[in-house]
Amino acid sequence: MSTARAPFAPWDRREIPGLFGVEESARRIGNYRWTEMRLFEALGGWVATVPELDVKMVLGRHCYQHAWHAELWTKRLPELREMNVERMTTPANDEMVAFMDAVSEPEAAELTIEKLVGVYRVLIPRTIAAYTYHMNGTSTITDSPTIRSLNFALQDEFDNWREGEMLIQSLLDSPEKVERAIRRQGELERLITAAGGIAGPDSIGTQPDLQEATI
């Protein structure tokens, strides 16, 4: 008598479903699309004003990568359900709007450090964290297209993070500039902490209650 073969290979222990239902996944993706579009607009605006040629070229290249990420999320939303893409493209909360307004705020040519620190030391790391959490909590069976999109976006985000950090380090050639970078990062970290991340307070999950964890 033969036994039925298991649905998955012995090394494959995938789970159904993932952490996110259709509505929750759509909400997060709408937040991602909004953030990527705002970042695209900010970088595109800075390309014309930054005096450093190397920075200008990097921002121009990264700008269109973020536009492409927004397109990835545009394509995912209709597949999740009959949803209006523009209606779903929203910030996580008012605090996230305030954060992105602050990130986009520096316009003067002499504020290149402030521009780069906001994007590459605060926003991009938070984006990587939210995307990684989403990917780790998504079922490879029920939502593999979203995982594929997250992988594509994460590869760009990691590459951009590294390149942006190198630009920042090349500009920090005096104690005064170091202080500017520290001050700018602190200001924006307070704002993004108030927002909870690019997808709100549960961008990377919720912390378990300590009292419950010890019972």
pLDDT band at 38 (very low <50, low <70, confident <90, very high): very high
pLDDT at 140: 82
In this predicted model, what pLDDT tens digit does every residue of 121-169 receive, in sequence order?
Answer: 999 999 999 999 999 899 887 888 999 999 999 999 999 999 999 999 9
Structural domain total, the chain: 1
Mean pLDDT of the chain: 90
> Percent of the chain beyond pLDDT 90?
72
**Domain CATH code at residue 151:** 1.20.1260.10
- Asked if residue 118 belongs to a domain, the reply is yes
User: Which residue range is the domain that position 118 belongs to?
Assistant: 22-204
pLDDT at 215: 46
pLDDT at 7: 63
- Asked if residue 16 belongs to a domain, the reply is no
The C-alpha R_g of the chain, in whole angstroms, comes to 20
- Asked if residue 211 belongs to a domain, the reply is no
pLDDT at 209: 55
- Asked if residue 15 belongs to a domain, the reply is no
- Asked if residue 212 belongs to a domain, the reply is no
pLDDT at 18: 80
- Asked if residue 88 belongs to a domain, the reply is yes
| 208 pLDDT above the threshold of 90 | no
pLDDT at 23: 85
| 13 pLDDT above the threshold of 60 | no
| 212 pLDDT above the threshold of 90 | no
Higher pLDDT, 8 or 177: 177
**Which residue type sits at 108?**
A
> Percent of the chain beyond pLDDT 70?
86
pLDDT at 210: 43
- Asked if residue 6 belongs to a domain, the reply is no
Measured CA distances, 45 to 66, 182, 184 (Å): 13, 24, 19
- Asked if residue 10 belongs to a domain, the reply is no
| 185 pLDDT above the threshold of 70 | yes
pLDDT band at 98 (very low <50, low <70, confident <90, very high): very high
This prediction has a pTM of 0.88
